[in-house]
Structures are given as structure tokens and as C-alpha cells.
Amino acid sequence: MDDNASVTNPLTGPLLEADAAGALVPLLLERLSPVTSVCDVGGGGQALLAKLPKRKVKEQKVLAASPEDLARPVTADRRFDLALCLAVADRIAPERTESLVAELAALADTVVLAATIPGQVDTGITNPRWHSFWVEAFAAQGFGADDGIREAIWNDGRIDLWCRQNLLVFRKGFATDRTPSSFDRIHPDLYNAKLTQMVGLERDIVRLKDHWLRRNQIMSPADVHWCRIVMNQETKKLVSQLDYACMSAVEVSGNGWQNFGFRDYSIAVYPQVDITKHVLRKGDGTGFDMVIAEQVLEHVPTPWIAIQCLYASLNPGGYLLVTTPFMFRVHADPSDYSRWTEMGLRNLLEAAGFQSDDIKTGSWGNRWCVIANFDQAAIYDPYSHSLQNEPDVPLMVWALARKQTV
């Protein structure tokens, strides 16, 4: 391995830069001495392993270096002086969290962990937790939280911001008089970066809201696409069966549900709000009871990641409504990537974590509507256009999926 190269890992993505690892290793060895054996759970600490002096740290081992391995119990035939778990615990299934903590505690008396906090969003984050959560979880295993290394690197610009923000050390039998909540910290650099991002997003949202409002103002009530008539009826029927008046809703790149009667309603404009990288949150940091993504998913280059992020945007028991075209002409806005049948959309939702019994799908189309939409979206004429459904000629496909409460 080139000691000057940055390291990537299929489970965690980009990791510590080599220079950052070089700055962090001496501090770890000094503060956590003696360290003669190290295991790296998930492969997120490979840059650190590359910088460890082999004459001092004689044994280095990577455990569970793939998502499949990490989904199973992580064990070893011996204990180590130090266990690393960097940029991994925030990418596992939430129900895997408790067992992973117990497995780390069984591997070593000292554990170095770095995991994303809520709102510090990155692609693939499925298990964001506040630091206090990890403090309490390790305390249940007899480990105390030591914040000394994070304090030491807090203002060290050589070390990646995500590491300075999130690095914690847990020691078996270590006693601290600090409360778990006192470990919940947000780095000023992270705060400023998010603030700058929010200002830009707010500016884009205002501009695009104006665009949507102007667009709707020039459309008459009869200016409705033929291919959407049945879909609109059926999706509204599905949502009407829910307690929607008590729901907090967000709609991605549209405002068709603005006046439906949700308790509160927001708009997230894609791609300015990148649903492959950002978990949607309300101003107070909480999730939504209803996320609506109509005719958006086909324009997303990695829709499976988008569905994961939308799943993470939901409160427990919340609903995701997705509509998408199937037998419809390519319409780049700005790009058009994918199509799904009902079964394909169901598979996509199940892969993101929705249970099969909690997914309702539907589709509509007929050959006459397919032909009418060859050149441009046909406006519905109730006197000449049939709403008969031919199941093997679907133009529109939709699904309503519920996130489990546990």
C-alpha cells in the first residue's frame, strides 16, 4: 500500500487521508499505550493501519471488510489491545447497532469509534446517532467514554473534519463524571458548512417555487395529463385512508399535494436538494410522516440510494408515496435514467428496508394513451379518451410504503 495515498473502502467510501492518518497515529499510540495489536472492524481504519509502526504494533487485522460480513456477528479468535470502528457504525442497519457494540467490546478493552451524527448527512448513512447514544450503549458493556483525543484534534486542520467531529474512545472500566449528553457536540466548521449550504438551498428553493407557481398559474383546470388521471385518483384515495390531517409532509419537486390537508407541508426541490445525499429533515431536526416523490425517481441516477435516503427521512410509521412512469417517452429533466414495473418498484422499496406487507402498488395505462403520448404529454379529454386499464400496458406506476414503527 502506498503510504501517501488516500484510502477507500466499499463499505465506508472515502476514508481518512494519509496525511490525516499520519497526524492521528502518534496521538493514538501515546494516549492509548500500550498498543501491540489492532483490529479494524469494517475496514474504515485502513489508513491508520498503514501508518502504524510495524515494530511496535506487531499484529494488525481487518475484520468484516464487506457489508455482508458486517451484517453477521464480528468475532475473532483472540482479543486485541485496540479495536477501530471508523465510518462504519453509521452505515449499518439500526437493528444491528446493539449487537455491534457488544462485539466491539468483546474484541478489545479500548475501542476507537467515529460515527455520523444526525444531520451530518452523507451518501449511504443509515444509522446516524448522537454521541450520547454511543456513550450509553458502551456504558452498558462496562466501557467509559474518553473524549481526550477528540479534544486534542478538535482544531487540527490536518485531520478530516468528520473525524474531528465524531471520534470517541471507549475504555473498559474507565470512569467519567460527565453526562452522556455532554458528549453531543457540533464542530464549528461543520456548522458553518451546513449554514452556507442552507443559505444556498433556501435561495434555490425560492427561485424554483416561483417557477412552479408561474407554471401552475398558466395551466387551466382542464390542463391535466391523460396518463395521470387514474394515478392521481388512486394515490389520493390511498392517502385519504390515512390520518393525513395529523401528518407532517414533504413533497420532492412538486406542489400537487400542497392543499391536501396535511398538518404541515414542505417542498424539497431536486436536484438542489439531492435526495441521494441528503436525508430530509424539518427545521427542528425531526423527520416526516409522509414523503411524496411524484415523477422524480426516473430522473435520479442512483434511485436505490434515493429510496434509502427517503426511507431515512421518515419517522417510524411514516409513509413514502412514489409515482413514476413506465411506458412513457424519455423526458430528460435534466436526465432520464430508469423505469419500473409494479414488481420492480416493490423490489426497490423492499431493498431500502420497507416490508413487503407494508407496500401497496398500482399501475395504469392503455395502448391508446401510449400512442397519444409519443410526441408530448396528451391533455385529457373526457369525451374522447378512455380510462380503461390494460394491466400489461402500464404508463404510470405508483406505490405507498409504510416504514415500520420498530
User: pLDDT band at 1, cuts 50/70/90?
Assistant: very low
Cell (9 digits) for 377: 404529454
User: pLDDT band at 204, cuts 50/70/90?
Assistant: confident
pLDDT of residue 33: 87
| % of the chain beyond a pLDDT of 90 | 71
User: pLDDT band at 19, cuts 50/70/90?
Assistant: confident
Q: Indicate whether 218 pLDDT > 80.
A: no
Cell 496525511 -> residue: 19
pTM for the structure as a whole: 0.52
Cell 431500502 -> residue: 352
Give the strand pairing for 143-146 and 167-172: antiparallel
Q: Roughly how many angstroms between the first and final C-alpha of the chain, as a whole number?
A: 43
pLDDT digits (tens, 9 = 90+) for 237-276: 999 999 999 999 999 988 889 999 999 999 998 888 899 9
How long, in residues, is the chain? Answer: 406
pLDDT digits (tens, 9 = 90+) for 37-72: 999 999 999 899 999 999 899 999 999 988 888 999
Burial 97-119 (b: 16+ CB within 10 A, else e): beebbbbbbebbbbbbbbbbbbe
pLDDT of residue 220: 41
Domain with CATH 3.40.50.150 in the chain: 8-189, 207-402
User: pLDDT band at 199, cuts 50/70/90?
Assistant: confident
Topology annotation, domain 207-402: Rossmann fold (3.40.50)
Helices 97-107 and 131-139, axial angle in degrees (round to 10): 60
CB atoms inside a 10 Å sphere around CB 353 = 18
- Whole-angstrom distance, CA of residue 301 vs CA of residue 181: 39
Contacts of 174 (CB under 8 A, 6+ apart): 143, 144, 145, 146
- What's the chain's average pLDDT? 90
Q: Indicate whether 308 pLDDT > 70.
A: yes
- Whole-angstrom distance, CA of residue 238 vs CA of residue 256: 15
User: pLDDT band at 123, cuts 50/70/90?
Assistant: low
Give 8-189's CATH code, choosing from 1.10.238.10, 2.40.10.480, 3.40.50.150, 3.40.50.300: 3.40.50.150
How do the residues of the chain divide into helix, strand and coil, expressed in percent and rounded to 5? 35, 20, 45
Structural contact between residues 126 and 91, judged by C-beta atoms closer than 8 angstroms = yes
pLDDT of residue 212: 54
Q: Indicate whether 222 pLDDT > 50.
A: no
Upper half-sphere CA count for residue 294 (Cβ side, 13 Å): 16
User: pLDDT band at 379, cuts 50/70/90?
Assistant: confident
User: pLDDT band at 12, cuts 50/70/90?
Assistant: very low
Helix (H) or strand (E) holding 40: strand 37-41
User: pLDDT band at 152, cuts 50/70/90?
Assistant: very high
| % of the chain beyond a pLDDT of 70 | 92
pLDDT digits (tens, 9 = 90+) for 163-196: 999 999 999 999 989 999 999 999 999 999 888 8
CB atoms inside a 10 Å sphere around CB 373 = 20
SS (H, E, C) 190-254: HHHHHHHHHHHHHHHHHHHHHHHHHHHHCCCCCCCEHHHHHHHHHHHHHHHCCCHHHCEEEEECC
